Chain A
């Protein structure tokens, strides 16, 4: 059974304090690993798709990396507007998305 765990459950950072969020997964035949951002009361907003180990993608202060067992979302010099819940999902070929529980990030000014 495909499984996704995320850590930490919650993270509080000072503005400018870089850190990383972890997504660990077990899946048979990974088609893709997806990162989404979710603001309170909103639907998830797509950030990245990673397809193979060693792949990296960047967007503004965010960089996502992928290994065979986990993915990291690195946040460099975060700002208060980066505060949100970050969700990770995996998809095996021909299967549905399986989401992790998310990491709630708070960036304090």
Chain B
């Protein structure tokens, strides 16, 4: 089946604006993850969903960042009052989560490149 998809592929916004980034996981995958990747760095964990609930949001940098997954499939990462430092590639990954845990191989989407001017 199809892999993880993310929209938009690129987003340019102005400082202070609100943005939403969308992730469609692999069909049937119950676990979903958001990461942020800065240039020249590896992905950095933000938040993990098991089903509809956020099982671990310890990586969210501050309260301007929020994510939802209301029906246990598509997820939206929301960033309020964007800052220039939020510019990065936001990656989404999903895993089967068959054991109800996060201990599964993660498959990544292509990412959304966010640029805050």
Contacts and interface: CB of A to CB of B under 8 A. Distances in A.
Interface stretch (A14-22, A61-69, A96-104): A96-104
Query: Interface centre among B6, B33, B45, by most A CB within 10 Å?
Result: B45
Interface string A42-60: 1111100100000000000
Q: Is the interface of B mostly helix, strand, loop or mixed?
A: loop
B48 interface: yes
Interface residues of B, number: 25
Nearest to B59: A96
A98 to B, nearest CB: 8
A42 B4 CA distance: 12
Interface of B: 4, 6, 33, 40-45, 48, 56, 58-59, 91, 93, 101-103, 105-111
13 contacts: A31-B103, A32-B103, A43-B6, A43-B91, A43-B93, A43-B110, A44-B43, A46-B106, A87-B42, A96-B59, A99-B42, A101-B40, A102-B40
